[in-house]
Amino acid sequence: MPCVFCEIVAKREPASIRYEDDDVIVIDNILRWAPVMLLAIPKRHISQQELWENMGSVGAAAIRVGEELCPNGYRLISNLGRDAMQSQPHGHIHILGGFHLGPYA
């Protein structure tokens, strides 16, 4: 089964794109736990671990969009592994905001 994020990057699957450059795409997350819930995804298929070892342009895009859409603050989250509920093998960062997020779980 093809990687859903690779399919979105290739424009073979639909997504609401909030930001895109040569290396990164930021899309609306289909989950709606917060008013702003986005995914910053490297266009090249890499693992979560590889992404965090070299955040580079993905981190910069996440900050840029987070600051633009959530001027009062936002949270960047990644799930690594089954116990953390990682659902996609393609590295990505969740951008959450748009209201007071409260304390960590």
What is the mean pLDDT of the segment spanning 5-18? 97
Break the chain into its structural domains and give their ranges: 4-97
Nearest to 91 by CA among 35, 42, 57, 53: 42
Greatest CA span in the chain, whole angstroms?
Answer: 39
Which of the four CATH numbers 1.20.1250.20, 3.10.180.10, 3.30.428.10, 3.40.50.620 does domain 4-97 have? Answer: 3.30.428.10
Separation between Cα atoms, residue 97 and residue 77, nearest integer Å: 11
Q: Are 24 and 41 in contact (CB under 8 A)?
A: yes
The confidence score (pLDDT) of residue 95 equals 96
Give the active site residues.
92
| pLDDT confidence bin for 105, thresholds 50/70/90 | low
Q: What is the pLDDT of residues 64-87, one digit of tens each?
A: 999 999 999 999 999 988 898 888
Between 16 and 84, where is the model more confident? 16
Which residue has better confidence, 103 or 93?
Answer: 93
Highest-scoring range by mean pLDDT, 21-25, 51-55, 80-84: 21-25
Q: What are phi and psi of 24, to 5 degrees?
A: -135, 150
**Which pLDDT score is estimated for 35?**
94
pTM of the model: 0.91
Tally the residues of the chain.
105
Per the prediction, the chain carries an average pLDDT of: 93
